[in-house]
Each structure stands twice: as structure tokens, then as C-alpha cells.
Amino acid sequence: MKKVLIPVIVLLVIAFLITGCGSSSTTSPATTPPTNTTPGTTTPTTPVTTPPTSTTPTTGVVKGGILRIIAAAGPQVLSYVPDMGPNDAGAVFPAVERLMDATTDRSQGIGLEPVLAQSVDDDIANNRIVFHLRPGVKFSDGSDLNADVVIWNFQQLIDAGRLQYQNFFKDIKKLDDMTVEIDYTTYTNQLLPSWGWTAIYSKQAWDQNSGGDLQKGRDWARTHVVGTGPFILQEFVRDDHMTWVKNPNYWKPGEPYLDGIKVTFIPDPTTAQNIMLAGQADEWDSPTAQAINDLVNKGLTKVSSWPGLVNSIWPNTTNTSSPFYNSLALRQAIEYAIDRPTLAKVLGFGNYIPMNQLAPEGEWGYDPNYQGIPYDPAKAKQLLAEAGYPNGLKVNLLIGNDAASLDAGTAIKQYLDAAGFQTNLDVADPGRFYGTVWGNTIPGDELTLMWSGMDTNYLMTYMRWFSSDPFTNVAFLGRTDEQKALDKQAESIPDAAGQQKIAMDIMNYMNENARVIPLYLVPATVITAPYVHTTRFSQGFVRWQSEIVWMDKH
């Protein structure tokens, strides 16, 4: 069942991909690092009790104002999680909070902090996680956050078969009004970040508007959302705009700083760029690579954060008929064939980062001593001949039909063909492309150009994208017995130091065997007016603390 679920990180990066990962042409979700302890401890029952982070000063902040944001696409469902798809979870960040969420400080490798939970016990010895809820928190409709509400939110996911790691789930129970226990069958360090990162919506609002009828509730949830967050939805016009107003009873004293937020959906990047230049918007989420440079040169501000999309070639190692299935030489020939620094520079106008290994620099699993495979088309031709293809090898490269993928695919084809491959670009519409890439059938194409997201540490990224039991099952990637053994060892490690060490072992295995061939990283970037103090993407794709966004007087 897990194989068909798309985690929220995927849903959010799809939206990011649609808006701004692209070239000069128009271009087209729990996710924090596993931990059961606070820094420097290893005791399995140590509670996680760090307070919610704030990345802005408490003095010097200018309060008030309406932040005007441009986004490429709007949500389809606002508050029934089992129906929520691309961009939905990210669109309701101003209203919705979670039991636990991503931190800003990633230096300790923890990256997970209680939010609606005041503290959390990851009791490994007894196969249970206990959430102690924060007292005094109310939803914007005046109802209370309590154990019954939390259990109801989990039950919606369970009933719909949408709870992550549901095959590990055993039971959920109320210990008292402010304490919830989840029992599981077998420990894995992925449970806490997955179940902790659960959005909590108002049960009272659902009950009042559904009348006990699931379909009626789902219909209401398409256009309504009631959470504990700093803003309240005032107006939602599908495919046009969302207007948020300040929650006067927000549980964090003195926040939010803004009076409101208006998000306008503008899919055309040229139109969005002109609106920014005219001063009719304050922030543009995920602009195109060329637009970033143009707008910065005209006085606007580029804000880039740690997450991004790693764009890679995925050789087909699932299909036994694929020539790449059991040939390291052929997979390495692809690496030698492509000039990654030049590719990144041309496609990203200087904003993309070339990648010679799967983990980006600074992430768990990044090896500063790993030199990677350099650009050497002669070596690529040699490896092709050694693999039995002295006259070249015909390959299909599956790509999406958005402009960014077309630009990248065309450039990659030129590199591969120059090295002796005979490359056909198999251009697919989004339905066929993602249906193939994330499908349950074995692909026929030999290669695909596909991105992967970044979670709050790279072990979690690996477990969700590349492991032998992933959430985001890229169908081109076959898993070996050696990889499965590493995965089993990795998910059993409770402490961050041990997880970091094995992340290096796993990434070395993936790199040395060319299981996935990284090309370049597209950093998460927003363009703002100089007076905006934004937190966008500072906690990855999965959290936005809109309560601490503010603007200078202007």
C-alpha cells in the first residue's frame, strides 16, 4: 500500500517544479530527520521538548501590512488530507500546524521540534510514541486542541489508507485529555518524523459542516480550512487567489506580525515578473532561473535556502531487458559523457549547482573526498565498447514535456550522442511521465530525467526516495541485496550520530555503483522586494512560519 502514496514533500516539490525550477522558458510534503532524543543524548525515552523556533528578532520588527505573494498554482483541496494533492498542503501553511515540524537549525541533525505537541516521548523499548499536547491552544473557530481531536485527525488518514508507514501502525489511544499514544509493531527511525508531521484540523468545523456525512465533509473541505495557525482564510477563489487575515487569538503571544497575506496565482512567469517589477507584489515564490538574475539586477532580492531539487538521470535497473540493469560500465559511461558544470551553468544561468554525487554539499552522506567521475567523452566511448557496444547504443530518455525538461533533455541528448549513444527523447505529458516514473509497472525506456526532493537530513531523503522500501517509488531504480542490507541496518539506528555515519556508507554505495546519476541541484529560491523579511523555504519545503514574516515600512 505504501508504494502508491505520494508523500507531502513530493506534492510540494511538484508545485515548486511547476513554478521555478526552469530555464528562461516558461517552466513547469513527514519530512524531518529521524531522532528520538535531544542533542547529546541516546536514551530512547528522552522527550523531545525544544520550543518552537523563531528566526526573526523580537525587537525591531515592524508589525502590520498585507504581504502580496505570487504563486504559480493554487490548491484544489484545503482540509481533507486524504484528498489533498499537489500544492494543497503548502497552500494552507498559514492556517495549519502540526504536532511536530521542521526546525530552522539543521546543524545538530535533529531538525524536528514539537509545535502543537509540547513534548514527545519516543519510547523505543515499548514500541510507542507519546504526544503530550500543548495546553491552551485553540482552533480559529474557538474549539480546543485536545486528544480527541488529534485521534480524529489520525483516524481520517487511517480510514482512507493514507497514514504513512501504516503497516507499522498498531493502535492509537487517549491517555488523558492532553496525551495521545501511538503503538507500533516494529521500530524504525522513520516513524517519529512521519507521524509527528501530522497536520491537525478542527474536528468541530468538520462536524458542523459535514453533518456526519463523509462526502458532504469532503465537499466542504475543498474550499474551507480551520486550523490553529496564525492566519484565517478569508477568501478563496480557485485558480485566482487566497486571502488570509490575522488570527487575533493565535496561541503565540505577539504573533503574527503581518495583518494578512494575499496569494495570487499567476502561472505565466513573464506576467509574474512584470508584476514584481511594477511593485504590485512583494514576493514571488520560485521564479525562473533567468528571471532571478533579471530581477536582482533591477534591485529586488534573491532569497535562497538549503532545500532544492536534485535533477538526475535514472538508468533503468528494474527491467532485466535494460542494458543498464547489470552494467556498471554503461552507467558510468553516462557520467563520463556529460559535462555537468557546463550543463548546470547553461540551464540555470548560474543559479544551479553541478552535482558529482547524490548528496548535496553539507548534507549527510556528502563525501568531500569523493572526486566523482569527470567529463571525458573518450572514456565514455571506451566503456561503451567494453560493454559490447562499439558501434553505439540506442537508448530512450523519458522526459516531461515542460520547457525546463525539454531544454535539459535536448542538452543531455547532445552530450550522450557525442559520446557514442544514440538517444531518442521520449517526451511525455505529465500524466504519462509521472504515471511511468511513479508507476507500479516496469518501465520500457532505458533512462529517465527525474528530480528528487530534499528532506531535513539526507538519510530521510534516501529512505523516502532511493531505499528498498521508499514512499516515492521511482520505478526505474532497481534495488540490490547489498542495498537492502544497508537499509535494514540504517532504519534501526536511533541516534543521529549513527544515522549520519550510515548515511555516508549508503551514499558511497549509491555513488560508486552509479545507481542514480546526479546532474545539478536547483536551489529553492524566492524573489522579494527589499523590505520583505521572509522565512520561505528556510525550513525546507514542508514548513513556513508565516507568523514571523514581516516588512519594513515602505
The confidence score (pLDDT) of residue 58 equals 54
406-420 per-position pLDDT tens digit: 999 999 999 999 999
Whether 432 is covered by a domain: the verdict is yes
Average pLDDT of the segment spanning 257-284:
97
Whether 378 is covered by a domain: the verdict is yes
Task: Give the E-state strand segments of 249-385 in sequence order.
Answer: 260-265, 283-285, 301-315, 353-354
In this prediction, residue 374 has a pLDDT band, given cuts at 50, 70 and 90, of: very high
Whether 12 is covered by a domain: the verdict is no
Burial of 381 (0-12, 13-18, 19+ CB in 10 A): buried
User: Does 128 lie in the same domain as 59?
Assistant: yes
54-87 per-position pLDDT tens digit: 444 556 899 999 999 999 999 999 999 999 865 7
233: nearest Cα among 222, 534, 204? 222
The confidence score (pLDDT) of residue 29 equals 30
Average pLDDT of the segment spanning 229-243:
97
485: nearest Cα among 498, 502, 464, 461? 502
- Mean pLDDT of all residues in the chain? 89
Using the structure block, give the residue that is written with the C-alpha cell 493502535: 171
Residue bearing the bigger pLDDT, 26 or 156: 156
User: Does 288 lie in the same domain as 259?
Assistant: yes
User: Does 200 lie in the same domain as 315?
Assistant: no
In this prediction, residue 115 has a pLDDT band, given cuts at 50, 70 and 90, of: very high
Q: What is the DSSP letter of 401?
A: S
What CATH number is attached to the domain comprising 150?
A: 3.40.190.10
What DSSP element (H or E) covers 242?
Answer: strand 241-246
The confidence score (pLDDT) of residue 1 equals 34
Tell me which of 11-20, 237-246, 454-463 is least confident: 11-20
387 pLDDT higher than 60: yes
Reported for 214-217, long-range contacts at CB under 8 A and 24+ positions apart, including other chains, are 217/80
| Spatial contact of 387 and 414, defined as CB atoms under 8 Å apart | no
Average pLDDT of the segment spanning 16-34:
36
User: Does 517 lie in the same domain as 437?
Assistant: yes
Percentage of the chain surpassing pLDDT 90? 79
Burial of 379 (0-12, 13-18, 19+ CB in 10 A): middle
Average pLDDT of the segment spanning 348-353:
95
Whether 113 is covered by a domain: the verdict is yes
User: Does 312 lie in the same domain as 290?
Assistant: no
The confidence score (pLDDT) of residue 544 equals 94
User: Does 502 lie in the same domain as 405?
Assistant: yes
User: Does 196 lie in the same domain as 55?
Assistant: yes
250 pLDDT higher than 70: yes
Total residue count of the chain as it appears in this document: 554
254 pLDDT higher than 80: yes
User: Does 325 lie in the same domain as 196?
Assistant: no
Q: For residues 377 and 162, what is the distance between their CA atoms, to the nearest angstrom?
A: 46
Q: What is the DSSP letter of 63?
A: P
Whether 311 is covered by a domain: the verdict is yes
Give the distance, in angstroms, between the CA of residue 72 and the centroid of all CA atoms in the same chain: 17
User: Does 423 lie in the same domain as 367?
Assistant: yes
What CATH number is attached to the domain comprising 321?
A: 3.10.105.10
User: Does 533 lie in the same domain as 492?
Assistant: no
Q: For residues 27 and 347, what is the distance between their CA atoms, to the nearest angstrom?
A: 12
| Spatial contact of 353 and 344, defined as CB atoms under 8 Å apart | yes
Domains identified in the chain, total number: 2
488-529 per-position pLDDT tens digit: 999 999 998 999 999 999 999 999 999 999 999 999 999 999
Whether 1 is covered by a domain: the verdict is no
For 58, residues 6+ apart whose C-beta sits below 8 A from its C-beta are 254
Whether 20 is covered by a domain: the verdict is no
Q: Which domain holds residue 411?
A: 307-523
88 pLDDT higher than 50: yes
Residue bearing the bigger pLDDT, 302 or 30: 302
Whether 510 is covered by a domain: the verdict is yes
Q: What is the DSSP letter of 47?
A: E
23 pLDDT higher than 70: no
For 388, residues 6+ apart whose C-beta sits below 8 A from its C-beta are none
315: nearest Cα among 520, 513, 22, 465? 513
408: nearest Cα among 309, 268, 319, 477? 309
List b or e across 494-527, with b for residues whose CB sees 16 or more CB atoms inside 10 angstroms: bbbebbbbbbbebbbebbeebbbbbbbbbbbbbb
Task: Give the E-state strand segments of 52-196 in sequence order.
Answer: 66-71, 97-98, 100-102, 112-114, 117-123, 128-133, 169-176, 179-184
User: Does 541 lie in the same domain as 453?
Assistant: no
| Spatial contact of 549 and 317, defined as CB atoms under 8 Å apart | no
List b or e across 393-411, with b for residues whose CB sees 16 or more CB atoms inside 10 angstroms: bebbbbbbebbbbbbbbeb
In this prediction, residue 107 has a pLDDT band, given cuts at 50, 70 and 90, of: low
What does pTM read for this prediction? 0.85
User: Does 467 lie in the same domain as 409?
Assistant: yes
Q: For residues 221 and 239, what is the distance between their CA atoms, to the nearest angstrom?
A: 16
